[in-house]
Amino acid sequence: MGGIGKTTIAKAIYKEICRNFRDRSFLANIRERWEHIDGKVSLQEQLLLDILKTTTEMPNIDSGKNTIKDMLCNKRVLLVLDDVDSLDQLNALCGSREWFGSGTRIIITTKDKRILGANGVDKVYMMETMDDSESIELFSWHAFKQDRPRDDFLKISKEIVHYSGGLPLALTVLGSYLFGNGIADWMCVLEKIKIIPKDEVQRKLKVSYDGLNDDTEKDIFLDIACFFIGMDRNDVTQILNGCGLFANIGISVLVERSLLTVDDKNTLGMHDLLRDMGREIIREKSPRDPEDRSRLWFQEDVLNVLFEKTGTKAVEGLALKLPITSSKCFSAESFEKMERLRLLQLAGVQLDGDFEYLSRKLRWLCWKGFPLPFIPSNFYQRNLVSIELENSKMIFVWKETQRLAKLKILNLSHSHYLMHTPDFSYLPNLEKLVLKDCPMLTEVSHTIGDLGEILLIDLEDCVSLRSLPRSIYKLKSLKTLILSGCIMIDKLEEDIEQMESLTTLLADNTALTRVPFSIVRSKSIVYISLCGHEGFSRDVFPSIIKSWMSPTNNLPSYFQTSTIMSSHVPLDVPRSSSQELSSISKYLPSIRSLWVKCSSDLQLFWMPYMPQILKNWNQLQLKYLEIPPNLFSFQWE
Q: Write out pLDDT tens, residues 502-513.
A: 999 999 999 988
Pairing of strands 328-331, 364-368: unpaired
Contact 351, 333 (CB under 8 A): no
Which fold does the domain 215-279 belong to in CATH?
A: Arc Repressor Mutant, subunit A (1.10.10)
Span 377-402, average pLDDT: 94
Phi-psi bin for 492: left (phi > 0), alpha (psi -120 to 50), beta? Answer: beta
Q: What are 528's strand-pairing partners?
A: 505, 535
Contact 247, 227 (CB under 8 A): no
Span 594-600, average pLDDT: 55
First and final C-alpha spacing in the chain: 72
DSSP state, residue 166: T
SS3 annotation, 139-151? HHHHHCCCCCCCH
Sheet strands (E) in 406-532: 409-411, 432-434, 456-458, 480-482, 504-507, 527-530
For the chain, percent of residues with pLDDT exceeding 90:
58
Report pLDDT digits (tens) over 194-233. Answer: 888 876 888 888 999 999 988 999 999 999 999 999 999 9
Residue 261 has pLDDT above 80, yes or no: yes
Which homologous superfamily does the CATH classification assign to the domain defined by 390-544? Ribonuclease Inhibitor (3.80.10.10)
One-character DSSP codes across 270-317: --HHHHHHHHHHHHHHSSS-GGGSSEE--HHHHHHHHHHT---TT--E
CATH class of the domain defined by 549-636: alpha beta
Q: Which of 5-14, 88-97, 113-122, 405-414 has the highest mean pLDDT?
A: 405-414
Residue 82 three-state SS: strand
Question: What residues contact 417, with CB distance under 8 A and at least 6 apart?
Answer: 373, 392, 393, 394, 395, 440
For residue 83, the Cα-to-chain-centroid distance in whole angstroms is 23
Question: What residues contact 270, with CB distance under 8 A and at least 6 apart?
Answer: 224, 225, 229, 259, 260, 261, 278
- Taking residue 114's Cβ as centre, other Cβ atoms within 10 Å add up to 9
Q: Where are the domains of the chain?
A: 6-119, 132-210, 215-279, 289-362, 390-544, 549-636
- Taking residue 150's Cβ as centre, other Cβ atoms within 10 Å add up to 11
How far apart are alpha carbons 226 and 248 in whole angstroms?
19
Contact 100, 81 (CB under 8 A): no
**Which amino acid appears at position 425 of this protein?**
S
- Taking residue 509's Cβ as centre, other Cβ atoms within 10 Å add up to 15
How far apart are alpha carbons 272 and 30 in whole angstroms?
11
How far apart are alpha carbons 338 and 360 in whole angstroms?
10
Q: How confident is the model at residue 560 (pLDDT cuts 50, 70, 90)?
A: very low
Closest to 270 (Cα-Cα) out of 251, 296, 294, 245: 251
Residue 35 has pLDDT above 60, yes or no: yes
How far apart are alpha carbons 637 and 591 in whole angstroms?
10
Residue 592 three-state SS: strand
Q: How confident is the model at residue 243 (pLDDT cuts 50, 70, 90)?
A: very high
Q: How confident is the model at residue 423 (pLDDT cuts 50, 70, 90)?
A: very high
> What architecture (CATH level 2) is domain 6-119?
3-Layer(aba) Sandwich (3.40)
Q: How confident is the model at residue 359 (pLDDT cuts 50, 70, 90)?
A: very high
The pTM for the full model equals: 0.77
For residue 549, the surrounding DSSP H or E stretch is none
